[in-house]
Chains A and B, each alone.
Chain A
Amino acid sequence: AQSVTQPDIHITVSEGASLELRCNYSYGATPYLFWYVQSPGQGLQLLLKYFSGDTLVQGIKGFEAEFKRSQSSFNLRKPSVHWSDAAEYFCAVIKAAGNKLTFGGGTRVLVKP
């Protein structure tokens, strides 16, 4: 069965500092990979997705993610965080044969002034 692991439950970062959120997946073939963000009391918003091609994917709000097949990882990065980036971030996976999205446990990001 496929699974998604986000090792960090909480991350605290200073405003203006860089951010990297880790995501590892467990699946035999290359899955389709997504990052979503959820602000408090809100639904989930798609930041970016990877299906194939260039392994460095650009998303909205200045985020990017890099697919590394050898490490089964799809880490999310932002060079300089803003206070508005405080939210919960979810990595998710769809296996190629279906359309069922499986989520990681989420990483909550706190931004210090």
Chain B
Amino acid sequence: DAGVIQSPRHEVTEMGQEVTLRCKPISGHDYLFWYRQTMMRGLELLIYFNNNVPIDDSGMPEDRFSAKMPNASFSTLKIQPSEPRDSAVYFCASSSRFGGYTFGSGTRLTVV
């Protein structure tokens, strides 16, 4: 198994641009999570899905953030418009129930 695959690994964009982060979970995992990691706030859960349905999006900071999971093998996190304070490492993780999460390698986003 290739694990959780995230793309791109690095993204540099200008303020105001749309950014789309992608995630392919492990096959058979029915939970998918998006986290953001910053020095100031640590690891924050943004949103998670169960069987492709969003369960808890209370961590999504603003309406500029949106996430979708159109099928069991793909999810996106979109920021539109992006701002410098969105600069962070964004992690995707997947799990089966209580199986322990498997994390992707992350996308390092820099908004200038």
Contacts and interface: CB of A to CB of B under 8 A. Distances in A.
The answer to whether A and B interact is yes
Interface of A: 32, 34, 36, 42-46, 49, 51, 90, 94, 99-103, 105-106
Question: Considering residues A99, A101, A103, A105, which has the most beta carbons from chain B within 10 angstroms of its beta carbon?
Answer: A99
A49 B100 contact: yes
Given A101-B33, A103-B43, A106-B42, A43 B91 contact: yes
Is chain B's interface secondary structure helix, strand, loop, or mixed overall? strand
Contact of B102 (A42, A46, A100, A102): A46
B42 A102 contact: no
Interface residues of B, number: 21
Interface in B15-69: 31, 33, 42-43, 45, 48, 50, 56
A45 B102 CA distance: 7
Nearest to B106: A43
A101 B101 contact: yes
Given A44-B91, A44-B103, A51 B98 contact: yes
A99 B43 contact: no
23 contacts: A32-B98, A36-B103, A43-B91, A43-B103, A43-B105, A43-B106, A44-B91, A44-B101, A46-B100, A46-B101, A46-B102, A49-B100, A51-B98, A90-B43, A99-B50, A99-B97, A100-B48, A101-B33, A101-B93, A101-B101, A103-B42, A105-B42, A106-B42
B47 to A, nearest CB: 11
Interface of B: 4, 31, 33, 42-43, 45, 48, 50, 56, 91, 93, 95, 97-98, 100-106
B11 to A, nearest CB: 15
Contacts of A102: 45
A52 to B, nearest CB: 10
A61 to B, nearest CB: 15
Contact of B104 (A43, A46, A100): A43
Given A43-B105, A44-B91, A90-B43, A100 B100 contact: no
A100 B45 contact: yes
